[in-house]
């Protein structure tokens, strides 16, 4: 049973002396992976070595139907605010700042919402963060940096991506910093883990419980990892993506993560059978580097757990883990040396060597001199057994590993098939912390009501009431109501799925349930109006973003026509 007043919904605010870190109120650690697919952890079907994360999941409550938002900025805004991303001003990306006149697409975290840190700090929590922020543009000042949104200390990158060996936008608290050229062993995932451990150790000496948001950048591109970690996976992917998807699916079935009746989706139609692929060594290397990135993530989660155990505070620390969106199909293009690059993409390493960006089969990724992604074939594999990817509202884009580990507070362990969403994280944190949702924001107005539900009843062995959940990003839309899901990939029509029978979304039954489609589409329209979601494309949307097309990159075009 959970401690004290937190057993039933939101507790009364705590205005007295703060509890000690080892007291009745738990420490809270929220660990976020980046662009990691549903099947990329051992406990969700992967062959990647993730023993530390797997042990946490096995010792906690592991969700099979937890959902995020389809992309980085929207997902982080929803997670931090407890609101749908549009309500937090992040229907799109920070790169869209200044483009759209609609509050839902401002591209800068709204001052009219409250972050988890802003809610927990008045309740007596020491608020700490390491990792990727990605909730404000670098060009508009520090008004929305972590310290300005409720965190006491911060180490990480403000931007959405960076070299793992020499990250741009690296910041400590509010001060931009750089990796010294003599720091030859610097690796961002390790640095985030090390700083997290230091924050935990300092916090444990104090009189407050702590909230740590550890937003790792692994396994977001660029594909970079230490060579000794990549070597572990050198030959692991020689069987190719078809074999790997089948192996992962079989393991998921054995674990009870998915149902046999759902089946597994077909390979992305742009991707050839492995035997027909043109660049086996390059493809194996791409996935090996990605696996190494997830491996390094696991190693650093292990550091955090070891420190908690050493300090004797693991049992009353609630650890939550998830990914910000589904696996990534984005293909990085070649950029000539004399052409401008995004701010996150360096021209040279810190040692002065040229960086060659883009997915080029003649260049093996991994070192700091490259800047590549693992692309469509392996993104498809990451999301086994689901359809599509990051950006989209089909299950491949919005299904995430999620678990809660909390020995002292969990009554219920094992697998949970309760349908959850990242908007549930804020009310859960408030609930277990005995904190109340603030009535005033930085803008001086009341924040919107929280649309999510506390997961405390689920942690106690119960369930959640049936509710409607919604998604929209770049015109990719979805509604979930009970077992029914209405979904559309822009610019296609609505599709309807019975998720109890067909969570892999392979059998569209919209034509058989016209009234249900109409009703759920109306529900979506009401929600879109409430949160400010606009029809896509908007008048201001650049031409290159309007089509919703999914083109094949040059290397896959070569697979189709190797003589061409």
Residue at 129 is within a domain = yes
Residue 307 pLDDT more than 70?
yes
Total structural domains within the chain: 1
Residue 308 belongs to domain with CATH number: 3.40.720.10
526, part of any domain? no
CA 192/CA 310 separation, integer angstroms: 19
- The answer to whether residue 15 scores a pLDDT higher than 60 is no
Catalytic residue among 43, 67, 72, 405: 72
The mean-pLDDT minimum among 3-17, 72-86, 277-291, 454-468 falls in 3-17
The reply to whether 320 belongs to the active site is: no
- Of 67, 86, 134, 473, which one is the catalytic site residue? 134
Domain residue limits at 402: 4-467
**555: in domain:** no
Asked, for residue 85, whether it belongs to a domain, the answer is yes
Do residues 238 and 388 lie in contact, with contact meaning Cβ atoms separated by under 8 Å? no
Mean pLDDT of 208-227: 98
pLDDT-derived band at 24, boundaries 50, 70, 90: confident
495 beta partners: 487
Q: For the whole prediction, is pTM greater than 0.75?
A: yes
Confidence (pLDDT) at 550 = 83
Burial of 276 (0-12, 13-18, 19+ CB in 10 A): exposed
Average pLDDT of the chain is 94
**What pLDDT score does 337 carry?**
87
Residue 88 pLDDT exceeds 90: yes
Angle between helices 375-382 and 280-310 (to 10 degrees): 40
CA dist 390 → 281, 375, 383 (Å): 26, 12, 9
- The answer to whether position 539 is within a domain reads no
Residue-by-residue DSSP string for 223-242: -B--HHHHHTTTTTTTTHHH
pLDDT single digits (tens) 97-120: 999 999 999 999 999 999 999 999
In which band, very low, low, confident or very high, does the pLDDT at 12 lie, cut at 50, 70 and 90?
very low
pLDDT at 412: 82
In whole angstroms, give the CA distance from residue 507 to residue 504.
9
**In which band, very low, low, confident or very high, does the pLDDT at 548 lie, cut at 50, 70 and 90?**
confident
pLDDT digits (tens, 9 = 90+) for 381-440: 999 999 999 999 999 999 999 999 999 999 889 999 999 999 999 999 999 999 999 999
Confidence label for 211 from pLDDT (cuts 50, 70 and 90)? very high
Has residue 20 got a pLDDT over 60? no
pLDDT digits (tens, 9 = 90+) for 447-482: 999 999 999 999 999 999 999 999 999 999 999 999
* Known catalytic residue at 134: yes
In the structure, what pLDDT confidence band is assigned to residue 563 with cuts at 50, 70 and 90?
A: low
Residue that is written with structure tokens 């139609």 in the block: 269
Tell me how far apart the alpha carbons of residues 483 and 199 are, in angstroms, rounded to a whole number: 42
pLDDT at 319 over 50: yes
Mean pLDDT, residues 365-389: 98
536 within domain boundaries: no
**Is 561 within the bounds of a domain?**
no
* pLDDT at 11 exceeding the cut of 50: no
Domain annotation covers residue 481: no
Evaluate if residue 292 carries a pLDDT over 50: yes
pLDDT at 5 over 50: no
What confidence tier does 23 reach under pLDDT thresholds 50, 70, 90? low
pLDDT at 136: 98
Please check the confidence at residue 547 and state whether its pLDDT lies above 90.
Answer: no
């Amino acid at each position: 049973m959970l401690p004290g007043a937190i057993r039933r919904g939101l507790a009364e605010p705590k205005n007295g002396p703060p509890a000690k870190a080892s007291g009745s109120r738990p420490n809270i650690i929220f660990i976020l992976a980046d662009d990691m697919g549903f099947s990329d952890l051992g406990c969700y079907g992967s062959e990647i070595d993730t023993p530390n994360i797997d042990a946490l999941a096995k010792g906690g409550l592991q969700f099979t139907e937890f959902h995020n938002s389809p992309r980085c900025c929207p997902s982080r805004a929803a997670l931090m605010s407890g609101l749908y991303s549009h309500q937090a001003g992040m229907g799109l990306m920070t790169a869209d700042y200044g483009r759209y006149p609609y509050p839902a697409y401002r591209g800068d975290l709204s001052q009219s919402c409250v972050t988890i840190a802003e809610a927990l700090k008045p309740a007596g929590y020491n608020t700490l963060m390491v990792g990727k922020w990605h909730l404000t543009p670098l060009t508009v000042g520090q008004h929305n940096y972590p310290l300005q949104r409720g965190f006491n200390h911060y180490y990480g990158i403000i931007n959405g991506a960076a070299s793992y060996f020499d990250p741009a936008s690296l910041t400590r608290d509010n001060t931009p910093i750089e990796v010294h050229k003599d720091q030859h062993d610097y690796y961002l995932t390790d640095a985030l883990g090390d700083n997290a451990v230091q924050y935990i150790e300092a916090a444990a000496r104090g009189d407050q419980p702590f909230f740590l948001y550890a937003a790792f950048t692994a396994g977001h591109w660029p594909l970079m990892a230490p060579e000794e970690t990549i070597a572990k996976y050198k030959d692991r992917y020689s069987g190719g993506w078809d074999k790997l998807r089948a192996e992962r699916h079989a393991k998921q079935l054995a674990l009870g993560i998915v149902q046999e009746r759902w089946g597994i989706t077909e390979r992305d139609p742009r991707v050839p059978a492995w035997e027909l692929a043109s660049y086996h060594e390059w493809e194996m290397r791409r996935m090996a580097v990605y696996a190494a990135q997830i491996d390094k993530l696991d190693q650093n989660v292990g550091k955090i757990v070891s420190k908690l155990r050493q300090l004797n505070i693991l049992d009353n620390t609630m650890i939550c883990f998830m990914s910000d969106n589904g696996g990534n199909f984005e293909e990085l293009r070649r950029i000539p040396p004399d052409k401008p690059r995004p701010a996150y993409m360096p021209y040279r390493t810190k040692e002065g060597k040229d960086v060659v960006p883009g997915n080029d089969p003649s260049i093996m990724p991994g070192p700091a001199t490259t800047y590549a992604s693992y692309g469509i074939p392996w993104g498809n594999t990451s999301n086994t057994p689901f359809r599509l990817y990051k950006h989209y509202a089909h299950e491949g884009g919005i299904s995430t590993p999620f678990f809660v580990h909390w020995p002292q507070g969990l009554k219920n362990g094992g697998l949970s098939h309760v349908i959850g969403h990242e908007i549930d994280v804020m009310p859960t944190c408030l609930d277990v912390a005995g904190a109340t949702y603030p009535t005033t924001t930085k803008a001086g107005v009341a924040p919107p009501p929280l649309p999510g539900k506390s997961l405390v009843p689920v942690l106690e062995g119960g369930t959640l009431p049936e509710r409607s959940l919604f998604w929209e990003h770049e015109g990719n839309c979805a509604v979930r109501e009970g077992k029914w899901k209405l979904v559309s990939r822009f610019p296609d029509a609505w599709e309807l799925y019975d998720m109890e029978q067909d969570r892999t979304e392979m059998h569209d039954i919209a034509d058989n349930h016209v009234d249900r489609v109409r009703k759920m589409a109306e529900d979506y329209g009401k929600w879109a109006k409430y949160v400010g979601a606009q029809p896509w494309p908007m008048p201001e949307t650049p031409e290159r973003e309007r089509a919703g097309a999914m083109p094949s990159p040059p290397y896959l075009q070569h697979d189709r026509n190797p003589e061409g």
